[in-house]
A and B are shown apart, each in its own frame.
Chain A
Amino acid sequence: MKRPKSIKAKLIWLFLLISLVVTATVGTLGYYFCGRALKEQLLNSLTSVAESREAAVLWLLKFRLQLLEVLAANEALQSLVHERNKQEQGEKIDGMRLERQVKSFFETELVEFGTATDFFDYLIIGKSGKVYYSGDKSLIGADFSKEERFIKGMRRPFLTDVRFDPQLKRYVREMAVPIFPHQAAHEEAMGVVLGVMIATTGTEVLNEITTNREGLGETGEVYIVNKDGLMITESRFIKDAVLKQKVDTAPVRLFQKDRKIMAGIYHNYRNVLAAGASMGDELIQEFPELGWVVLAEMDVDEFLMPVFRLRNIIIFCGLLIFIIAILIAVAVSRPIETALRESEALIEQQKEELSVTLRSIGDGVIATDTQGRITLINQVAQSLTGYSEKEALGKPLEEVFHIVNEATRLRCINPVRRVLESGQIIGLANSTLLIARDGRERVLDDSGSPIRDKDKNIIGVVLIFRDITEKREREDQINRVNEFNEMLLKTLPLPVDIIDEECNIIFASDKTQAIFGQGLKGKKCFTLYKDDKKQCSDCPLKNGIELGETKSLEVKGVADGKTMLITYTGMVYESRKVILEIFSDITEIEALQEKLEKNRDILAETNQELIQGQKAALNMLEDLQKSKDVLEENERKLKEALQAKSAFTSMVSHELRTPLAALKESVSLVSEGIIGPINEEQKRFLGIAKSNVDRLARLINEVLDFQTLESGKVAFKMEENDINAVIKEVRETMLGLAEKKNLDFTLNLDENLPKVRFDRDKINQVLTNLVGNSIKLTEKGSISITTSLGNNVIQASIQDTGPGIKEEDMPRLFQQYEQLERKVGGTGLGLAISLDIIKAHGGKIWAESKFGQGTTFHFALPIKERRTA
């Protein structure tokens, strides 16, 4: 699920990236070009503003100048100036008429002119420079001959710059025009100029022109700068700027230096970045003395507002496009993603199917690329080679798939190379061995085939192989069995043949051929043993025979009149249902049978006699039965008597022991001096009493022991014990007795004897008894005990150098209550008890002796415990 998601994300990102790049490029280019065009347009509009204002100013100046020239051409004025000039030169003039003319001119013409224009004062100056008339009466009569405005005004119209008039307390400027004589105007030369008229006006109209800020927005303004670089019209932002505000900006400098106009962005007089256009070339052409330049400016922020707006619109559009692009990307990626997922799921499913198929194939599969590197290895191949998929992938084939020729054990040619070279499907030699990683070898059945793409180019190789080790072994086994069977059948010392369902003999053993002749194969079976050479009426093939069903049939007169018993059975031979026949020559048996028949009658007679004999025997049996009952009754009575005897003996023993105990203890108490002091003699006799009490007790014990053993009531504690240890114990306790009689007591033990199960106490008793006897009877010499390992027994031998036993006494040796010599005290039960104990262990006890030379008692215990009585 991870991959589809990233595809979706990738799609979206790609879409966004493309849309971003496109939007950014279009936006940037659009902004660049449109912005430039817009800026140009805006600058053009500023330029045209400046141009229109310049035109207005120019028109104003020219128009006023024309009006002034018309005024200067006034006849009355000319007459006036002419008369006054004459008067100045000393000529006599009609003063009255002049006065009238002057009055009418000044009071009517000039007033009219002043109303029509914005001139508010006039100076009329004569040829000599003397002021003839002025609104400011103080100036009348003043000499202006040195004034520039007079000098220049005498030759052509002349305009002064704006200046501040401290008397009028306002900004003024003047226009001077020459006064030509009316009649001579066309006839006389320039030299006849009568004088100069200077008209004074304010700066209102100029300001009116520049403060018309239509289309200049919030920060736009138009102003005029004179040749001194001073502002001569009002500023929109600075109060009282006229003739005070220095304007040292790029367009002003350019104009003053090169008389060139410009439009562009620069820092204006307020040191604010502004867009502006300068204009003044026409003005300067007309009035070079002024050097005015008209500037139209606007703060760059406002100026560029449309550009910013354009930029914002572009950004907005870009964002809009971007969002749309996202939406489209999401919308488009979903179906694409779904399709991708579906196709991926399909691929996944196909992969899964392929892998399941590969896994389920019982054969090993390895695929490689054309370089022989493993690209696929299935489960079976992994287990056969011993490499896991992780280890095998990417490895060269020969490293994982190690195959050798079975016979030569030389490495086989890499099957991938063979496939690549031949371009065909190849099989491996039959005797190929795969050596697995762990060294296991398997016989392989293998084929390799090229993998081709749809253009039939080989893009890899696939090997399919299987372990045929077992199959091969099975085949070998079957072959062996078949060979054996074949051999068996052929050489069987029985006449055997196999016939198919059409009665054809398909096999006959040597013995069969010996009876019926050679070349039986292919003949019909019935031709062998039927005179009429026809199929038997009871032929099993007619009736059908089940597999494994065995029947027999007797045929007479076969092969020189023999009688044959044919035993046949249904079986499968070489994949066919056949019948196996075994022939038995029963000719002689037949004859015997006949003899038997004859003998039968004789037998019947004999039988009769036998039956009578049997009856007699039965009677005898009955008698025997009766005798047996009597015997059993006797046995039972005997057992009861024995038990009674045993119980009696027990009781007697017990009753004897109790007083004996009291007696022994009394004697002990006195002899030990516990009751009171006794003398040596008393002590000696009490000792005699005590030893006799002990003897009596021992005798009772022996009787009792024997009784117990005989009654079979004793439970033996059978445990694994070391016979040598018991012997050492016995020697320990008996050594004192032997030493008393100056007898050597030696042991000669086989320390390697196995442990044997026996009752330790009882064997101790046997040993003690035997050793005790030896010590009692031997007067000088030694006692020795020897142990050895016999045939599944361990044996202990107790030898002494005592008097020995007479040969005639030997048989009575182990009988109860027998004492060969009354020389020493005893019940005569010791050996009988020993015999019982050893017998109870499944062992044996016996004695060897030569009279006068000593006796050896032996007993043997079985190493493996036998169940005992």
Chain B
Amino acid sequence: MTKKVLLVDDELDLVAVTKRRLESAGFEVLTVETGEDALAYLQENIPDLILLDLLLPKMQGEDVCKRIKSDESLKRIPVILFTASATDIPKVAKEVGADDYIMKPFEPEELLSKIKKFIG
């Protein structure tokens, strides 16, 4: 069974290469650009993992993560923050209940090993 990864980011170039990287590693990747779309998608679907950018057009990645982690049916999905932000990411991750984080730019090995840690 192919594992499904939901990638939430509005940087479309980065989304394209990251999607390709994950697909080449054997994951099925779904992409949305906004937090609202992500939550709407989650109404109907349950992915195996979510890669979530913090700096999103309207609703911020922090709020999306909090919403996911406070929803009984979604809280078990691992969420990995995916960000270029300069702020103290480990602290933010802890606050919003995210399971891990990856700083942009990233090493491909790091990205894959972190994802496989949850859905290997």
In the complex, chain B residues whose CB is within 8 Å of the CB of A638: none
Taken residue by residue from 5 to 31, chain B's Cβ proximity to chain A (1 for < 8 Å, 0 otherwise) reads as: 000000101100110110010000000
Known: A661-B105, A674-B20, A674-B21. A654 touches B86 (CB 8 A): yes
Q: Are the CB atoms of B104 and A669 closer together than 8 Å?
A: no
Q: How far is the CA of A662 from the CA of B108 in the complex (A)?
A: 12
In the complex, chain A residues whose CB is within 8 Å of the CB of B18: 665
Interface membership of A664, Cβ < 8 A: yes
Q: Which of A443-451, A509-517, A547-555, A706-714 contacts B (4 or more CB under 8 A)?
A: A706-714
Taken residue by residue from 659 to 677, chain A's Cβ proximity to chain B (1 for < 8 Å, 0 otherwise) reads as: 1111111101100101100
Q: Are the CB atoms of B84 and A661 closer together than 8 Å?
A: yes
Q: Which residue of B lies closest to A713 (CB)?
A: B88
Q: Are the CB atoms of B20 and A669 closer together than 8 Å?
A: yes
Q: How far is the CA of A625 from the CA of B99 in the complex (A)?
A: 54
Within 8 A of B (CB), among A605-662: 649-650, 653-654, 657-662
Taken residue by residue from 698 to 717, chain A's Cβ proximity to chain B (1 for < 8 Å, 0 otherwise) reads as: 00000010011000011100
* Among A662, A668, A714, A715, contact of B14 (Cβ-Cβ < 8 Å): A662
Taken residue by residue from 86 to 112, chain B's Cβ proximity to chain A (1 for < 8 Å, 0 otherwise) reads as: 111001000000000000111010000
Interface membership of A216, Cβ < 8 A: no
Q: How far is the CA of A307 from the CA of B91 in the complex (A)?
A: 127
Q: Are the CB atoms of B105 and A660 closer together than 8 Å?
A: yes
Taken residue by residue from 52 to 80, chain B's Cβ proximity to chain A (1 for < 8 Å, 0 otherwise) reads as: 00010000000000000000000000000
In the complex, chain B residues whose CB is within 8 Å of the CB of A665: 14, 17-18, 21, 105-106, 108
In the complex, chain B residues whose CB is within 8 Å of the CB of A660: 104-105
Known: A669-B20, A693-B105. A657 touches B11 (CB 8 A): no
Q: How far is the CA of A567 from the CA of B91 in the complex (A)?
A: 71
Q: Are the CB atoms of A715 and B20 closer together than 8 Å?
A: no
Interface membership of B85, Cβ < 8 A: yes
Known: A661-B104, A668-B108. A708 touches B86 (CB 8 A): yes
In the complex, chain B residues whose CB is within 8 Å of the CB of A664: 105-106
Q: How far is the CA of A715 from the CA of B88 in the complex (A)?
A: 8
Q: How far is the CA of A704 from the CA of B89 in the complex (A)?
A: 13
Interface membership of A11, Cβ < 8 A: no
A300 to chain B, nearest CB (A): 119
Interface membership of A697, Cβ < 8 A: yes
Interface centre among A650, A654, A715 (most CB of B within 10 A): A654
Q: Which residue of A lies closest to B18 (CB)?
A: A665
Q: How far is the CA of A693 from the CA of B14 in the complex (A)?
A: 15
* Among B88, B104, B108, contact of A658 (Cβ-Cβ < 8 Å): B104
A384 to chain B, nearest CB (A): 68
Q: Which residue of A lies closest to B103 (CB)?
A: A657
B94 to chain A, nearest CB (A): 11
Taken residue by residue from 265 to 292, chain A's Cβ proximity to chain B (1 for < 8 Å, 0 otherwise) reads as: 0000000000000000000000000000
Q: Are the CB atoms of B21 and A654 closer together than 8 Å?
A: no
In the complex, chain A residues whose CB is within 8 Å of the CB of B88: 713-715
Q: Are the CB atoms of A661 and B21 closer together than 8 Å?
A: no
B89 to chain A, nearest CB (A): 11
In the complex, chain B residues whose CB is within 8 Å of the CB of A714: 88
B87 to chain A, nearest CB (A): 7
In the complex, chain B residues whose CB is within 8 Å of the CB of A657: 84, 104-105
In the complex, chain A residues whose CB is within 8 Å of the CB of B108: 665, 668, 672
Q: Are the CB atoms of A669 and B86 closer together than 8 Å?
A: no
Q: Are the CB atoms of B13 and A662 closer together than 8 Å?
A: yes
Q: How far is the CA of A570 from the CA of B87 in the complex (A)?
A: 75
Q: How far is the CA of A246 from the CA of B29 in the complex (A)?
A: 151
Q: Are the CB atoms of B86 and A661 closer together than 8 Å?
A: no
* Among B21, B24, B87, contact of A650 (Cβ-Cβ < 8 Å): B87
A128 to chain B, nearest CB (A): 172
Q: Which residue of A lies closest to B102 (CB)?
A: A661
In the complex, chain B residues whose CB is within 8 Å of the CB of A669: 17, 20-21, 24
Q: How far is the CA of A672 from the CA of B112 in the complex (A)?
A: 15
Q: Are the CB atoms of A653 and B86 closer together than 8 Å?
A: yes
In the complex, chain B residues whose CB is within 8 Å of the CB of A654: 55, 84-86
Q: Are the CB atoms of B21 and A715 closer together than 8 Å?
A: no
Q: Which residue of A lies closest to B109 (CB)?
A: A668
In the complex, chain A residues whose CB is within 8 Å of the CB of B24: 669, 674
Q: How far is the CA of A868 from the CA of B108 in the complex (A)?
A: 37
In the complex, chain A residues whose CB is within 8 Å of the CB of B55: 654
Q: Which residue of B lies closest to A703 (CB)?
A: B86
* Among B17, B85, B87, B91, contact of A662 (Cβ-Cβ < 8 Å): B17
Q: Are the CB atoms of B84 and A658 closer together than 8 Å?
A: yes
Q: Which residue of A lies closest to B25 (CB)?
A: A674
In the complex, chain A residues whose CB is within 8 Å of the CB of B85: 654
Q: How far is the CA of A663 from the CA of B16 in the complex (A)?
A: 11
Q: Are the CB atoms of A659 and B21 closer together than 8 Å?
A: no
Known: A665-B17, A674-B24, A715-B91. A650 touches B86 (CB 8 A): yes
A693 to chain B, nearest CB (A): 7
Q: How far is the CA of A278 from the CA of B117 in the complex (A)?
A: 142
Q: How far is the CA of A714 from the CA of B86 in the complex (A)?
A: 11
Q: Are the CB atoms of A658 and B11 closer together than 8 Å?
A: yes
Q: Are the CB atoms of B11 and A662 closer together than 8 Å?
A: yes
Taken residue by residue from 29 to 40, chain B's Cβ proximity to chain A (1 for < 8 Å, 0 otherwise) reads as: 000000000000
Q: Which residue of B lies closest to A705 (CB)?
A: B86
B113 to chain A, nearest CB (A): 15
In the complex, chain A residues whose CB is within 8 Å of the CB of B14: 658, 661-662, 665
Q: Are the CB atoms of A704 and B86 closer together than 8 Å?
A: yes
Q: How far is the CA of A452 from the CA of B44 in the complex (A)?
A: 110
Q: How far is the CA of A668 from the CA of B18 in the complex (A)?
A: 11
Q: Are the CB atoms of A661 and B20 closer together than 8 Å?
A: no
Interface centre among B11, B104, B105, B108 (most CB of A within 10 A): B105
Q: Are the CB atoms of B13 and A659 closer together than 8 Å?
A: yes
In the complex, chain B residues whose CB is within 8 Å of the CB of A707: 86
In the complex, chain A residues whose CB is within 8 Å of the CB of B17: 662, 665-666, 669
Q: Which residue of B lies closest to A659 (CB)?
A: B13
In the complex, chain A residues whose CB is within 8 Å of the CB of B21: 665, 668-669, 674
Q: Which residue of B lies closest to A670 (CB)?
A: B17
Q: Which residue of B lies closest to A652 (CB)?
A: B86
B13 to chain A, nearest CB (A): 4
Taken residue by residue from 339 to 369, chain A's Cβ proximity to chain B (1 for < 8 Å, 0 otherwise) reads as: 0000000000000000000000000000000
A713 to chain B, nearest CB (A): 7
Q: How far is the CA of A789 from the CA of B21 in the complex (A)?
A: 49
A551 to chain B, nearest CB (A): 70
In the complex, chain B residues whose CB is within 8 Å of the CB of A653: 84, 86
Q: How far is the CA of A693 from the CA of B55 in the complex (A)?
A: 22
Q: How far is the CA of A762 from the CA of B106 in the complex (A)?
A: 20
Q: How far is the CA of A226 from the CA of B58 in the complex (A)?
A: 166
Q: How far is the CA of A730 from the CA of B113 in the complex (A)?
A: 22
Q: How far is the CA of A137 from the CA of B64 in the complex (A)?
A: 178
Interface centre among B21, B87, B104 (most CB of A within 10 A): B104
B11 to chain A, nearest CB (A): 5
In the complex, chain A residues whose CB is within 8 Å of the CB of B87: 650, 713
Q: How far is the CA of A376 from the CA of B88 in the complex (A)?
A: 84
Q: How far is the CA of A675 from the CA of B20 in the complex (A)?
A: 9
Q: How far is the CA of A665 from the CA of B88 in the complex (A)?
A: 24
In the complex, chain B residues whose CB is within 8 Å of the CB of A659: 11, 13
Interface centre among A659, A665, A674 (most CB of B within 10 A): A665
Q: How far is the CA of A725 from the CA of B114 in the complex (A)?
A: 25
A335 to chain B, nearest CB (A): 92
Q: How far is the CA of A675 from the CA of B21 in the complex (A)?
A: 10
Which 5 A/B pairs are nearest by Cβ-Cβ distance? A661-B105, A661-B104, A657-B84, A665-B17, A662-B14
Taking A658-B104, A661-B11 as known contacts, 6 extra A-B pairs with beta carbons closer than 8 A to each other, sorted by chain A number, are A653-B84, A657-B84, A658-B84, A668-B108, A669-B20, A675-B20
Q: List 25 A-B contacts (CB under 8 A).
A: A649-B86, A650-B86, A653-B86, A654-B86, A657-B84, A659-B11, A660-B104, A661-B11, A661-B84, A662-B11, A665-B14, A665-B106, A668-B21, A669-B17, A669-B21, A669-B24, A672-B108, A674-B20, A674-B21, A675-B20, A697-B105, A707-B86, A714-B88, A715-B88, A715-B91
Interface residues of B (CB under 8 A from A): 11, 13-14, 17-18, 20-21, 24, 55, 84-88, 91, 104-106, 108
